[in-house]
Amino acid sequence: MKHDKLHMMLIAMLGGTALAGSAFAHGDDSMFKSMDTNGDGQISSSEHAAGVTAMFASMDTDKDGFVTTAEMDAAHASMKGGGDMKKMSSADKIGKMDTDGDGKMSSAEHDAGAAKMFTEMDTDKSGGLSMAEMNAGHMRADKDKTKDKSAMKDHSEHSGHDAPPASTPPSDANGG
């Protein structure tokens, strides 16, 4: 049970979703505690790294060193409630970390993305994540996703087909 919650939280964190953030926001600190393996009230970078390594290995079902959208979809499907696919698809999640553009996520890309997320969430630069930092980080991620979706919608609605009318050039003094 503890492993399932850790797995769910790590998929949520590293996939860029707010599933874990929703749980934190509702006072469910069991996921946080499962990552805090030494029980000091902070998730250290080494605890985080160990968790993300284990999570990647569990998603990489064919053990080729990459996670594909199919593997991530399967991991989400195995989560209680089917994961949080409404917010961001597996392809979008992988796309955020897929730095070489091959359509799949390597363990190196995954580790780099996780480390970046950890650093961004560690707002007090203590080297560890508190429950408050986790909550705040996931709320920021929610807002960013909402903003991204709004911007994409606005961009598609204003894709240049309804450009503002050209202004009429001023007439010269001779009426022409």
> Residue 136: what pLDDT?
84
Q: In the chain, what are the helix, strand and coil shares in percent, each to the nearest 5?
A: 60, 5, 35
Average pLDDT over residues 48-76: 92
d(CA 157, CA 151): 10
d(CA 65, CA 142): 29
pTM (two decimals): 0.65
pLDDT (tens digit per residue) in 42-60:
999 999 888 888 889 999 9
Average pLDDT over residues 84-106: 86
Does pLDDT of 67 surpass 60? yes
